[in-house]
């Protein structure tokens, strides 16, 4: 059976995978969005079903004050003796509170997961090797204390006590990069294969120069010798005009039939070197030659279409992770910022009820925002709301990248019971630019907001009740991606309610959010 890459479109970066029986399980990074670390499962590596999140309870982690592109970085999932392990790093980016590397466990990958146990180590991108003798070896990346060049990192290794959930024994530094001058040797994963220890690591930074490198050793502590073919997979030599860029951060898995595969992140630029959909999860076949993994044999590139011989077809209702049609409350695709969706709003029947909060998307706080990932270049997003707002309050359809970069189709009333007034506010590099306000015809509290995304253009329209939609403004999506804005995220689309710093008792009912991909020659992203 064949399927298109990416296997998880939209912002699903830093994928990690393991197999237990007939099921593959995959986790990915979520940064400041909650619930954190989505868990997907698949029988065939092509069709993925969301089954839960690792961080899904209030208070598991402290997100207070963590700015955009902070939060949960690069998890790893592994399995040992009936127990699933996830190790991850909470990056606070200067915010007060508890950050660092932690482990959680569960007997069911759908949850519940244990409370975090914190490990006494610095750095990011932790992983766990389950050795053949049952021992656990934790490893990860950190900046080298005495670097030979700027941004040189090192991979540390230390045994993990599974009962005490703490690091024990001496530490070893096993890797500093495959190439001289290589920056950010990160995303390390160790495997024990036929008595040999294989180290897989990214290199070059998670952008154009990203690459996959490998090394191996006879002992888990090393010394590790790099492959003469390093980097064994990269698209950096193809340039910024390639259809897929930034290939790296891979994890290996073996299928039941003995075949080997790698999941990894990459990006699909459009409109020049911009990737608004963020870093996505791709699949690559792996073969073995002379004891070394060979990624995408015969081509050395991430394929557009993946052929998985043992795949027999997706179960009914399971897709490649696409959001299609209405997204009801309780759907795992909903995310809040620094808070769980059920902490941001409450479910009443088939609707979300959002309190109008003082915070805006520009604040490092918990805004009344609930959204889903953008997963297609071309789409229609329709948001139906009912709101009775005070003067100065607004409800809107938001396209969020970060505090400093986002766009909002905002509607409010200048006076109680006055007409609805709409505008598009585009915050770019921390500076707000607003279109002229448009008075909407019609009365009542029912508002329909629509985003029409076609390639580079985001067009916003608004309507009251059953009146015709009015175009309010447009935004170039290239101004909102991480190439322009910085950080590590793609875009989230959803509902926002704010009183702009004032106390409020108002609420907004989100009756529906409908995500409709546009299929056609121009809809190349999914």
- For the chain, how far is it from start to end, CA to CA, in angstroms? 17
Half-sphere exposure of 380 (CA within 13 A, CB side): 11
Report the catalytic residues. 14, 186
Classify the phi-psi angles of 202: left when phi > 0, otherwise alpha if psi is within -120 to 50, otherwise beta.
beta
- Cα–Cα distance, 223 to 1 (Å, whole number): 41
Q: How far is CA 76 from CA 124, 367, 420, 504, in A?
A: 11, 29, 48, 42
Long-range contacts of 101-110 (CB under 8 A, 24+ apart): 101/126, 101/140, 103/128, 103/160, 103/165, 104/54, 105/165, 106/54, 107/82, 107/83, 108/84, 109/25, 109/39, 109/41, 109/51, 109/52, 109/77, 109/84, 110/39, 110/51, 110/52
The Cα–Cα gap between 462 and 441 comes to 10
State the greatest distance between any 2 C-alpha atoms of the chain, in Å, as a whole number: 76
Q: How is residue 110 annotated by DSSP?
A: T
Alpha helices by DSSP H, 328-481: 341-344
Buried b (16+ CB within 10 A) or exposed e, 314-348: beeebebbebeeebebeebbbbbbbbbbbebbeee
The residues facing 142 across adjacent strands are 154
Give the gyration radius of the chain's Cα atoms: 23
Cα–Cα distance list, 327 to 8, 37, 458, 507, 515 (Å): 17, 19, 20, 20, 7
Task: Give the CB-side neighbour count of residue 160, counting CA atoms within 13 A.
Answer: 29
Helix (H) or strand (E) holding 496: strand 492-498
Parallel/antiparallel/unpaired status of strands 245-254 and 351-355: unpaired
């Amino acid at each position: 059976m064949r399927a298109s890459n990416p296997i998880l479109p939209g912002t699903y970066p830093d994928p990690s995978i393991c197999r237990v029986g007939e099921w593959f399980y995959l986790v990915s990074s979520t940064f400041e969005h909650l619930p954190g670390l989505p868990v997907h499962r698949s029988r065939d590596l092509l069709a993925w079903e969301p089954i839960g999140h690792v961080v899904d309870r209030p208070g598991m982690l402290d997100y207070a004050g963590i700015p955009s592109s902070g939060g949960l970085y690069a998890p790893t999932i592994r399995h040992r003796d009936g127990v699933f392990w996830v190790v991850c790093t909470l990056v606070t980016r200067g915010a007060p509170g508890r950050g660092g590397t932690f482990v959680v466990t569960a007997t069911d990958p759908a949850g519940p997961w244990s409370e975090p146990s914190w490990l006494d180590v610095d750095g990011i991108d932790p992983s766990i090797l389950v050795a053949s003798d049952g021992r656990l070896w934790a490893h990860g990346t950190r900046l080298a204390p005495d670097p030979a060049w700027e941004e040189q990192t090192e991979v540390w290794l230390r045994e993990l006590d599974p009962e005490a959930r703490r690091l024990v024994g001496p530490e070893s530094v096993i890797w500093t990069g495959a190439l001289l001058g290589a920056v950010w040797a990160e995303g390390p994963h160790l495997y024990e294969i036929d008595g040999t220890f294989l180290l897989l690591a990214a290199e070059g930074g998670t952008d154009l120069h990203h690459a996959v490198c490998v090394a191996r050793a006879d002992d888990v502590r090393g010394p590790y010798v790099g492959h003469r073919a390093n980097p064994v997979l990269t698209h950096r030599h193809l340039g910024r005009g390639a259809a897929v860029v930034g290939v790296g951060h891979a994890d290996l898995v073996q299928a039941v039939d003995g075949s080997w595969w790698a999941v990894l992140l990459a990006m699909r630029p459009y409109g020049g070197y911009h990737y608004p959909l963020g870093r996505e999860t791709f699949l690559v076949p792996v073969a073995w030659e002379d004891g070394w993994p060979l990624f995408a044999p015969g081509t050395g590139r991430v394929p557009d279409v993946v052929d998985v011989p043992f795949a027999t077809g997706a179960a009914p209702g399971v897709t490649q992770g696409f959001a299609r049609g209405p997204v009801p409350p309780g759907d795992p695709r909903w995310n809040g910022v620094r808070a769980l969706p059920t902490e941001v709003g409450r479910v009443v029947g088939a609707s979300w009820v959002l309190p109008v909060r003082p915070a805006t998307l520009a604040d490092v706080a918990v805004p009344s925002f609930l959204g889903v990932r953008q997963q297609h270049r071309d789409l229609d997003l329709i948001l139906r709301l009912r709101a009775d707002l005070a003067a100065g309050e607004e409800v809107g359809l938001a396209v969020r990248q970060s505090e400093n970069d986002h766009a909002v189709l905002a509607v409010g009333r200048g006076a109680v019971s006055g007409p609805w007034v709409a505008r598009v506010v585009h915050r770019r590099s921390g500076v707000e630019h607003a279109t002229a306000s448009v008075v909407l015809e019609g009365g009542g509290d029912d508002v329909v907001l629509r985003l029409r995304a076609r390639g580079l253009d985001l067009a916003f329209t608004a309507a009251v009740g059953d009146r015709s939609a009015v175009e309010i403004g447009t935004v170039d999506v290239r101004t909102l991606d991480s190439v322009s804005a910085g950080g590590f995220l793609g875009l989230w689309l959803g509902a926002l309610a704010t009183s702009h710093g004032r106390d409020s008792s108002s609420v907004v009912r989100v009756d529906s959010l409908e995500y409709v991909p546009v299929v056609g020659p121009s809809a190349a992203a999914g």
